[in-house]
């Protein structure tokens, strides 16, 4: 028994190692052209395009790198229509293989690391949904703040966090009971949210506040509120380095990517990227950050060590989010 468990562990470790080593690929949701661009980050070129039947925005990669999940919405804002869904795309076959319930106008969501559950913000309904990916059933619909937006599941899988733009709030969901266990307030119009790899810190961008708020995830106490630049950059997308050493914030209107210290207390560097960077993701090796630039219709690939844009790759029309395999 022990020998077979060891064999499984070795196989998983080897597969994980190969996965980390192979060329890294970015998947970019283009909300106006209704496509997903697949970008080889080493070659800095688009290697494929997947058309989708709706307006794609939120995009996430499963932990095993096999599935790309994309939030699609239709042309009927504020009403649930036939195209409102979160779809799963087989990353190897580049084909939609699953469709999951989402509520109206799905925008942001996140997955548990074990790939079993999805948490989505239902902006118009003022709720968050927990979805079982195997059965494609909504397990719970939870009342959160007004106009929920950003979603992040902690790497330990115990908590899901949902920001709400009108309430200026963050709701904390216990993923075992699927209940809201806490709410707290941040600066005006919170958008993006990300959790540190050890699940101990939470980072929340506030678009109108022009800030990044750092929260102790154990106590839900705010430990730092950092004004980014002059505050007119409208920070949106947030990502944390795989080692937890720094945080990356896409500041849409300013056209910049801010590097912030892990304690959330200071801006380490500001890198000029494309126009209106919205989504941001970091490669698994932590060497590159990628921004989806909604107005310049490209992505910026930023070398984290040198803090320089090493490539700009044109993608579809209206790049919104980015996920990395």
Partner 1 sequence: MLKAVTAVALLGAAGPGPVVLELTLVLPAADTERSRDIATGVRFGVEEAVHTARLVGAEVVLTVDRDARGDVVLGGLDRTTCDALSREAARRPFIYIALGCGGRASDSSWTFHLEPDGGAESAGAVLWHPALERYGAGQLNARFVERFGRPMSAAAWSGWMAVKIALEAALKARASDPRALRKVLTAPMRFDGHKGAPLSFDSGHRLAQPLYRDGDTPAEIRP
Residue 239, Cα to own-chain centre: how many angstroms? 7
Stretch that binds partner 1, among 50-58, 182-190, 285-293, 309-317 (CB under 8 A): 182-190
Q: How far is the CB of 211 from partner 1 (least distance, A)?
A: 9
Does residue number 208 form part of the binding site for partner 1 (CB under 8 A)?
yes
What is the x/- site pattern for partner 1, positions 253-292, by CB under 8 A?
----------------------------------------
Q: Which residue has the tokens 């200071």?
A: 266
Find all residues with CB under 8 Å of 256, minimum gap 6, and list them: 229, 233, 250, 270, 271, 272, 273, 277
* Binding flags for partner 1, 94-133, as an x/- string (CB under 8 A): -----------------------------xx-x-------
Judged by beta carbon, residue 139 or residue 253, the one nearer partner 1 is: 253
Q: How far is CA 183 from CA 173, 264, 270, in A?
A: 9, 20, 31
User: Which of 23, 48, 51, 77: binder of partner 1 (CB under 8 A)?
Assistant: 77
Stretch (H or E) spanning 277: strand 277-282
- Token pair 């932590």 is found at 286
Q: Could you say whether residue 209 binds partner 1 (CB under 8 A)? A: yes
Interface stretch with partner 1, choices 18-26, 47-55, 111-119, 138-146 (CB under 8 A): 138-146
Distance in angstroms (rounded) separating the CA atoms of residues 74 and 54: 5
Residue found under tokens 């154990």: 218
- For the bound state, the minimum distance from the C-beta of residue 116 to partner 1, rounded and expressed in Å, comes to 28
Using CB under 8 A as the binding rule, whether residue 251 contacts partner 1 is answered as no
- Region of 36-44, 134-142, 162-170, 276-284 interacting with partner 1 (CB under 8 A): 162-170
The residue with tokens 């060497």 is 287
Q: Which of 98, 157, 229, 231 binds partner 1 (CB under 8 A)?
A: 231
Counting contacts by CB under 8 A, is residue 163 touching partner 1? no
| Contacting residue, 35, 62, 154, 168, with partner 1 by CB under 8 A | 168
How far, in Å, CA of 262 to CA of 160, rounded? 20
Q: Is 210 in the site for partner 1 (CB under 8 A)?
A: yes
* Contact (Cβ atoms closer than 8 angstroms) between residue 148 and residue 127: yes
Does the footprint of partner 1 cover residue 201 (CB under 8 A)?
no
Q: Which is nearer to partner 1, 236 or 282 (CB)?
A: 236
Gap between the Cα atoms of 45 and 36, Å rounded = 14
The C-alpha torsion from 123 through 124 and 125 to 128, rounded to 10°, is -10
Which of 165, 173, 274, 278 touches partner 1 by CB under 8 A? Answer: 165
| CA 35 – CA 45 distance, rounded (Å) | 16
Q: DSSP 3-state assignment of 15?
A: helix
Binding site for partner 1 (CB under 8 A): 77-78, 123-124, 126, 144-147, 165-169, 171, 183-185, 187-189, 207-210, 231, 234
């Amino acid at each position: 028994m022990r020998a077979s468990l060891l064999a499984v562990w070795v196989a998983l470790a080897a597969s994980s190692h190969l996965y980390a080593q192979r060329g890294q690929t970015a998947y970019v949701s283009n909300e106006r052209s209704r496509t997903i661009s697949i970008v080889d980050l080493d070659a800095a070129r688009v290697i494929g395009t997947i058309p989708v039947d709706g307006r794609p925005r939120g995009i996430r990669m499963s932990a095993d790198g096999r599935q790309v999940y994309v939030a699609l919405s239709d042309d009927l804002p504020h009403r649930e229509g036939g195209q409102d869904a979160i779809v799963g795309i087989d990353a190897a076959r580049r084909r939609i293989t699953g469709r999951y319930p989402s509520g109206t106008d799905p925008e942001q969501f996140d997955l548990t690391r074990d790939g079993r559950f999805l948490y989505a913000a239902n902006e118009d309904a003022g709720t968050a949904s927990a979805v079982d990916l195997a059965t494609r059933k909504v397990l719970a619909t939870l009342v959160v703040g007004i106009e929920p937006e950003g979603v992040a599941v902690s790497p330990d899988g115990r908590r899901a966090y949902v920001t709400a733009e009108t309430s200026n709030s963050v709701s904390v969901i216990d993923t075992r009971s699927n209940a809201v266990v806490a709410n707290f307030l941040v600066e005006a119009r919170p958008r993006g949210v990300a959790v540190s790899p050890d699940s101990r810190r939470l980072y929340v961008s506030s678009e109108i506040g022009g800030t990044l708020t750092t929260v102790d995830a154990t106590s839900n106490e705010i430990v730092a509120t950092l004004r980014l630049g002059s505050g007119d950059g409208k920070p949106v997308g947030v990502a944390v380095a795989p080692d937890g050493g720094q945080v990356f914030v896409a500041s849409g209107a300013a056209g910049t990517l801010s590097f912030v210290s892990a304690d959330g207390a200071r801006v380490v560097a500001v890198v000029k990227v494309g126009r209106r960077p919205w989504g941001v993701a970091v490669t698994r090796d932590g060497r590159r950050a990628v921004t989806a630039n909604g107005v310049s219709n490209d992505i910026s690939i930023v070398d984290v060590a040198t803090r320089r844009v090493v490539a700009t790759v044109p993608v579809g029309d209206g790049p919104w989010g980015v996920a990395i395999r």
